[in-house]
Amino acid sequence: MYIPDFEYYAPDSLDEACQMLAQFGGRAKVLAGGTDILPKAKTFSPIAPPQTPLPEILVSLKNLEELKKIEYVPGKGVVIGALATHNDLVNSELLNKKYMSISEAAHQMANNQVRNRGTVGGNLINAVPSADLPPILIALNASIKLVSVDGERVLPLEELFLDVCVTCCTEKEILTEVVIPDQKMTGSNYIKFGARRSGALAIAGVAVAVEVENNVIKDARIVAGAVAPTPIRTKKAEDFLKGKEVTAELLEEAGVIASGECKPITDIRGSAEYRTNLVRVLTKRALRKAIDQGHV
């Protein structure tokens, strides 16, 4: 298999990268880990076009060391650089201490080799519906920063996704960081359901974050992945849970409501009916786990 020819640039600073993207316009795309755009750009023959051809130019971010950090900024929260790899999330002491659920979600992605290359930024910007990081990050109310020559904008992560593989990040913009604000939530969890434990895409995945006090749910966020064109928040189920005492029936009921809110498709990995039912079960299990484990 081979990739058709393209031009390659590796700018030394974020400013330079932004200027390049502005200059090249729609002819260029950003390259981070490459574990998604490179395989999709491969083809067996020049007459058979690849699934998603590469543009004329790739702008690699490999020299931008400042985007690889994961750190805590007081007053802001945990800042995850867009170029942190999935294994950086898995092995980050900070995340293991503060947001174990993010590390666990990152660990469920693909396999070790891909996790060493694939980045957080790439996972978000490719906006594949079955991606594993968006649900848990949205559940924890993450925001993102998009930078371009015209300045920067900060927006909630859930507003990034528009459709299957479509985001509101323009061709001039670079995603630089994901910020997880300080939490009131007392527990969070992401459960992925795939055909095998490694290297499989999610058939469905549900992330939840809950604030529980004296066995009463004060706040809840439930996000389902792979069951709609974008990760979706099941707001009816969230509202249903608020102010209620935790019982097995309550969690079951929340699962039923959440499954009614998703709009899955039937594909090779699972039928729409199967996925709907999965959301019911996974929501229940994720809620139970988030409530019981007592940490985010």
- Chain positions contacting other proteins, by CB under 8 A: 1-10, 31, 34-35, 38-39, 42, 58, 60, 62, 87, 110-114, 116-117, 197-199
- DSSP assigned state of 123: H
Query: Cβ distance 146 to 173 under 8 Å?
Result: yes
CA atoms of 37 and 250, how far apart (whole Å): 42
Shortest reach from residue 135's CB to other proteins, in Å? 22
Residue 35 CB, nearest approach to other proteins (Å) = 5
Using the minimum distance from each CB to other proteins, give the nearer residue, 1 or 248. Answer: 1
Instruction: Give the residue with the Cβ less far from other proteins, 162 or 195.
Output: 195
Give dist(CA 64, CA 53) in Å, integer: 25
Name the residue nearer to other proteins (CB basis): 37 or 296: 37
Residue 146 sits at φ, ψ, to 5 deg, of: -110, 130
- Nearer Cβ to other proteins (6/274): 6
CA angle centred on 94, ends 92 and 95, rounded to 5°: 70
Q: Two tokens at 55?
A: 């543009």
Within a 10 A sphere around the Cβ of 207, how many other Cβ atoms? 32
Which residue number, 3 or 94, has a Cβ lying nearer to other proteins? 3
Amino acid identity for residue 69 in this structure: K
